[in-house]
Amino acid sequence: MKVELIAYTPTAAGVCCDAAAICTASDNGYRSLQHSLASGHESVLEHAVFTFRVEGISRVTLAQLTRHRLASFSVQSQRYVKLDNPELVIPESIRNSSFFAEAQSSMRYMLNLYERMMEAGIPAEDARYVTPQAVPTSLIVTMNVRELRHFFSLRCCNRAQWEIRQLADEMLKLCRKAAPTLFENAGPGCVQGGCPEKKSCGHPRSKAEWDK
């Protein structure tokens, strides 16, 4: 997996501070922003956006990622881009199990079938139906700060599926570096004072993890 922050609102924190200040006719934008966030008035965060290039995630994680509807996605097409011996995304739980060889063989068989279908003239948009979900893809995704913070609250949680948690972790690291004021308290509930899950994982995360 490769994650890059390729663009974001210049002076993102300043834009959000201005938005918070204008709501209360304040001359102290930073204080207004802190008050807005403490009060749950997070609409002021929607004025700054961040755009990422993501490469090498599975179609499993793509399906989870696109459930976050307040975002824009541009995904590599399987209609127009032919799969060429892709490096499959296989979980460690499968790699370390007695099923690994069988799983790898089955997925390679389906990719070989895909190749033969294409050679026989079956359209790529139809041949792709036989490809495994482990096939990697690339995309550009854009979210505003409010949606990013919501995304991190769910997907940086230890209970999130491992691959999308890895993606969220990388995105949060980049966001904290680019705009620390906006993402200082971003992350799962355990870094904000309490776990919102009915049953805690018992292993709270630390904000320092995203500063590495």
Distances (CA, A) of 4 to 8, 47, 145, 173: 11, 21, 16, 10
Alpha helices in the chain (DSSP H): 12-24, 29-38, 59-65, 92-95, 100-119, 124-127, 145-155, 162-178, 180-183
| Residue 111 in tokens | 């990719």
Catalytic residue among 146, 155, 165, 176: 155
Structure tokens at 138: 């690339």
State the Cα–Cα distance between residues 109 and 30, nearest whole angstrom.
Answer: 57
Helices (H) and strands (E) in the chain, counts: 9, 4
114: nearest Cα among 82, 91, 144: 82
Query: Is 109 strand, coil or helix?
Result: helix
Q: Are 67 and 162 in contact (CB under 8 A)?
A: no
Q: Is 69 a catalytic residue?
A: no
Which residues are tagged catalytic? 155
